[in-house]
């Protein structure tokens, strides 16, 4: 009886990790109504139209259509990637990097995204020495870059379904060996499912930003009277640490921290 309670408790706890609407994660595969079908048809047509405008060299028009798709609530790594390309063609470096970073966040394993993001980053002014990270975090970074965020979410979901099947097998199997095997397999697969979900959540975190002004001064405190600390330039990526009124505390790759006006940066 205790085993049943433990298993059910673990499953209920893990289930909270999957509380978000599955339809929002896999909207292209799980369209439920005619109105939603029409919305996605329109979005696909708009995406094709934007791609045609881009191929014709009408980059500003292409940006308008790509942005309209985003404003309609649609999102994908391909959309952000193409939008980044359109901005890059217009020499809008900060906007290009922002959208490449958003594409990378959703699909870190895509070679084209990584390639174009590296090119855009090479054109910014600021250069920083990264703070050495622990070996564990390096390995974690390599693992999470293996798949896109949606793929990690799908693996987590399928693994959780497998856990439920194994729990049913444990509850109703007649042989003691099968019950023991299903119990331990359920524990292992549950850990896998939770790990995949945590990786997906990590990829979707909004804790970094891009500088969107030509020159930005970081200060020691969240006010104009604070002492100047360092200068940043357009396109630089920073880590967001805190917010206070109209100010944001940021951290650079080298570990330095300072306060900047919130309107000067845009969250990835």
**pLDDT of the residue at 146:** 85
The 208-211 sheet, strands edge to edge = 228-233, 215-219, 257-261, 247-251, 237-244, 208-211, 265-267
Assigned superfamily of 208-267: SH3 Domains (2.30.30.40)
**pLDDT of the residue at 30:** 44
pTM of the shown model: 0.72
**pLDDT of the residue at 35:** 45
pLDDT per residue as tens, the chain (268 positions) = 555 555 555 555 555 555 544 444 444 444 444 444 455 468 889 999 999 999 999 999 999 999 999 998 898 999 999 999 999 999 999 999 999 999 998 888 899 999 999 999 999 999 887 666 667 777 877 888 788 788 889 999 999 999 999 999 988 888 889 899 999 999 999 999 999 998 888 877 778 999 999 999 999 999 989 999 999 999 999 999 999 999 999 999 888 999 999 999 999 9
User: Where are the chain's structural domains?
Assistant: 2-17+134-203, 31-121, 208-267
Contact between residue 107 and residue 214 where contact means Cβ atoms under 8 Å apart: no
- From the options 3.40.50.720, 3.30.70.660, 1.25.40.10, 3.40.50.300, give the CATH code of 31-121: 1.25.40.10
**pLDDT of the residue at 221:** 94
């Amino acid at each position: 009886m205790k085993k049943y309670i433990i298993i059910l408790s673990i499953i209920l706890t893990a289930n909270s990790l999957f509380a978000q609407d599955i339809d929002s994660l896999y909207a292209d595969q799980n369209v439920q109504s005619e109105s939603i079908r029409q919305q996605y048809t329109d979005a696909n047509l708009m995406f094709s139209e934007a791609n045609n405008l881009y191929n014709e060299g009408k980059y500003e028009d292409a940006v308008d259509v790509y942005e309209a798709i985003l404003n309609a609530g649609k999102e994908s790594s391909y959309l952000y990637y193409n939008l980044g390309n359109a901005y890059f063609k217009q020499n809008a470096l900060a906007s290009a990097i922002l959208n490449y970073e958003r594409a990378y966040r959703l699909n870190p394993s895509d070679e084209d995204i990584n390639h174009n993001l590296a090119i855009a980053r090479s054109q910014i002014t600021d250069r920083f020495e990264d703070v050495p990270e622990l070996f564990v975090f390096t390995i974690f970074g390599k693992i999470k870059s293996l798949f896109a965020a949606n793929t990690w979410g799908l693996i987590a979901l399928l693994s959780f379904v497998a856990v439920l099947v194994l729990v049913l097998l444990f509850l109703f199997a007649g042989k003691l060996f099968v019950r023991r095997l299903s119990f331990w397999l359920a524990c292992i697969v549950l850990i896998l499912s939770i790990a995949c979900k945590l990786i997906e959540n990590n990829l979707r975190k909004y804790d970094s930003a891009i500088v969107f002004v030509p020159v930005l001064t970081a200060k020691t405190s969240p006010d104009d009277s604070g002492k100047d600390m360092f200068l940043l330039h357009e396109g630089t990526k920073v880590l967001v640490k805190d917010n206070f009124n109209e100010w944001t505390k940021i951290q650079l790759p080298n570990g330095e921290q300072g306060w900047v006006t919130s309107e000067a940066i845009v969250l990835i």
